[in-house]
């Protein structure tokens, strides 16, 4: 018990107490400086009647859906390419994982430079193919796409690590038997690799959704924390930050945080249920 007590104390102080306190203040009106005033469900009613909440919810849903498929597909392809025993593969693995250790804010600032409309490197590259300049950060729709690109670039290395570790756990004798039966590379990947890393794929799906819904730092660095242009990148993370640390509506922000938690819990449970379903027998 003496060995476990410090860990239990750390969990209580740094996890359970903040969670309980945030739930407590979500039922209060508080500006961080004055005394709390009990508001009951007022913060939640105000949130559900706030048009900005639905704008943030829509942007977050579109952003999450747009980032999920590319992240999983690219990670799966990169992990399959790195799951080889060839000379120098370690160098390529290190290069593929480098974005994982980069600061998200620093990375977003660099991408902000790359997305400059006038003479930005990305638009210069597009110009070589005869494509006109794209208003990456000045048009609401393009700005959300730019945020998606940055998020996918940042998310792929972590997902690749998980999938590569799972692929390396697949027994080699299964591939050898498939080769003897005449199965090609794609058939082996589809029929052996993907089914045997199903658990890792489910984890990547869940963690990608959670990270996308909670996205804040890259959106903040790309748009100066305003969720612009207009409300193009106004996601739930930006809304929570603005209400908590610009408008000092701490209770309202806490209510928003718990609504986001509820949404993530429901999405995670649905994903886990789908992942555990046994395929129907013919």
Q: Is residue 153 part of a domain?
A: yes
- pLDDT at residue 270 above 80? yes
Assess whether pLDDT exceeds 80 at residue 87. no
The encoded tokens of residue 158 equal: 């972590």
Amino acid 278: pLDDT: 53
Please report how the helices 198-213 and 140-167 are oriented relative to each other, as an axis angle in degrees rounded to 10.
150
Total domains present in the chain? 1
pTM (predicted TM-score): 0.88
Q: How sure is the predictor about 280, in pLDDT bands with cuts at 50, 70 and 90?
A: very low
36 in any annotated domain? no
Instruction: Specify burial of residue 47 (Cβ count, 10 A radius: 0-12, 13-18, 19+).
Output: buried
Residue 135 pLDDT more than 60?
A: yes
Task: For residue 22, give both structure tokens.
Answer: 């945030």
pLDDT digits (tens, 9 = 90+) for 187-246: 889 889 999 998 899 999 999 999 999 999 889 988 878 888 888 899 999 999 999 999
With 0-12 / 13-18 / 19 or more C-beta atoms within 10 angstroms meaning exposed / middle / buried, residue 109 is middle
- 106 against 147, higher pLDDT: 147
SS (H, E, C) the chain: CCCCHHHHHHHHHHHHHHHHHHHHHCCEECCCCCCCEECCCHHHHHHHCCHHHHHHHHHHHHHHHHHHHHHHHHHHHHHHHHCCCCCCHHHHHHHHHHHHHCCHHHHHHHHHHHCCCCCCHHHHHHHHCCCCCCCCCCCHHHHHHHHHHHHHHHHHHHHHHHHHHHHCCCCHHHHHHHHHCCCCHHHHHHHHHHHHCHHHHHHHHHHHHHHHHCCCHHHHHHHCCCCCCCCCCCCHHHHHHHHHHCCCCHHHHHHHHHHHHHHHHHHHHHHHHHHHCCCCCC
Structural domain includes residue 23: no
pLDDT at 76 over 90: yes
Instruction: Check which CATH number belongs to the domain holding 236 and give it.
Output: 1.10.3720.10
State which residues form the domain around 166.
46-277
For residue 142, what are the β-bridge partners? Answer: none
* Residue 21 resides in a domain: no
Within a domain: residue 266? yes
pLDDT at 282: 38
Report if residue 180 sits inside a domain. Answer: yes
pLDDT at residue number 96 = 81
Asked whether residue 256 is assigned to any structural domain, the reply reads yes
Of 52-56, 161-165, 228-232, the range with the lowest mean pLDDT is 228-232
Bridge-partner residues for 29, per DSSP?
37
Confidence tier at 65 by pLDDT (50, 70, 90): very high
Instruction: Tell whether the model's pLDDT for residue 254 goes beyond 70.
Output: yes
Query: Residue 41: inside a domain, yes or no?
Result: no
């Amino acid at each position: 018990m003496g060995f476990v007590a410090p860990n239990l104390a750390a969990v209580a102080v740094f996890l359970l107490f903040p969670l309980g306190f945030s739930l407590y203040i979500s039922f209060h009106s508080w500006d961080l400086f004055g005394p709390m005033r009990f508001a009951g469900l007022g913060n939640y009613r105000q949130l559900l009647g706030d048009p900005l909440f639905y704008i943030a919810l829509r942007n977050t849903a579109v952003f999450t859906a747009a980032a999920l498929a590319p992240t999983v597909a690219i990670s799966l392809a990169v992990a399959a390419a790195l799951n080889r025993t060839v000379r120098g593969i370690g160098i390529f693995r290190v290069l593929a994982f480098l974005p994982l250790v980069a600061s998200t804010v620093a990375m977003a600032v660099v991408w902000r430079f790359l997305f400059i409309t006038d003479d930005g490197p990305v638009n210069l590259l597009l110009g070589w193919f005869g494509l006109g300049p794209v208003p990456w950060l000045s048009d609401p729709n393009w700005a959300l796409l730019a945020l998606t690109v940055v998020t996918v670039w940042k998310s792929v290395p972590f997902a690749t690590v998980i999938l590569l570790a799972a692929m390396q756990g697949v027994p080699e004798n299964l591939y050898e038997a498939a080769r003897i039966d005449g199965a090609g590379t794609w058939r082996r990947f589809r029929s052996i690799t993907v089914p045997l890393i199903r658990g890792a794929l489910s984890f990547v799906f869940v963690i990608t959704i959670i990270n996308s819904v909670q996205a804040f730092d890259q959106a903040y660095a790309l748009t100066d924390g305003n969720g612009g242009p207009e409300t193009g990148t106004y996601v739930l993370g930006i809304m929570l930050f603005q209400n908590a640390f610009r408008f000092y509506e701490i209770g309202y922000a806490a209510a928003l945080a718990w609504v986001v938690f509820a949404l993530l819990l429901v999405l995670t449970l649905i994903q886990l249920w789908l992942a555990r379903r046994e395929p129907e027998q013919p």
